[in-house]
Structure 1
Amino acid sequence: MEWMAWTWPTAIFFVVIASLLVVFTILGIKFPETPRKGVLQIETTRGDRLFITLLGSAFINLAWLGLVGGHQPWALAVCLVYAAAVFRWV
């Protein structure tokens, strides 16, 4: 798979995403939940909030690259705060 230019950070990214999907699937089977309404006034489940978090985190990282540059660990910190807020209030 050398032709794909895989790097360790890329591999870790995909492993984390796959792991999140597996964990949330197991949680959904083991502990079913009813949708709830948050600040967006739409019904969301754990999976919906995960999707909103991943999508928002992608935009945060893109904006960080465009505005600040390549020092991404701080963008990760912003994404973690964003994820906590989404899972708490959305």
Structure 2
Amino acid sequence: MLKWMVWTLPVAIVFIFAFLLIIGMTIWGHYRPPRIRKGFLRITTDRGDRVYIAYISSAFFMIMWIALVEGMLYVGCALAVALAAVILKWG
């Protein structure tokens, strides 16, 4: 059934993390509803919006890192996580 995709360990980790993130955000939103606020992104966002923006921004950053920088993938991952943390905290 899942033969159409190359399931390597990194791909599986990304999909498992995304699935757990959706479940965690659903549970967190049930017990503590998100507040809408405006951060440095200059748009009104709630917690879920910032998670989505951070996830997509990190993915785009990693694509650009792989395209423009030879090697040092762990440095790119660390910078992508830092970018996501900034968006989640102050975005």
Q: Give yes or no for TM over 0.5.
A: yes
How far apart are residue 34 of structure 1 and its match?
1.9
- Where does residue 50 of structure 1 map in the other structure? 51
How far apart are residue 3 of structure 1 and its match?
5.0
What one-letter code is carried by the residue in structure 2 that aligns with 1:50? V
**Residue 63 of structure 2 aligns to a residue in which SS?**
helix
Output the TM-score relative to the length of structure 1. 0.90
How far apart are residue 2 of structure 1 and its match?
4.6
Cα shift readout 1:50-85 (whole Å, capped 9, x = no counterpart): 011011011101110111134321111001110111
- Indicate if the aligned counterparts of 2:37 and 2:45 stay in contact, CA closer than 8 A: yes
Task: Kindly tell me the number of residue pairs found equivalent between the two proteins.
Answer: 90
Alignment RMSD (CA, Å) = 1.4
- Where does residue 27 of structure 1 map in the other structure? 28
State the distance in 2 between where 1:31 and 1:18 align: 20
- Where does residue 81 of structure 2 map in the other structure? 80
Output the TM-score relative to the length of structure 2. 0.89
- Indicate if the aligned counterparts of 2:35 and 2:47 stay in contact, CA closer than 8 A: no
Unmatched runs of 5 consecutive residues or more in structure 2: none
Give the ranges of 4+ consecutive aligned residues of structure 1 lying more than 4 Å apart after TM superposition: none
Unmatched runs of 5 consecutive residues or more in structure 1: none
Identity of aligned residues (%): 39
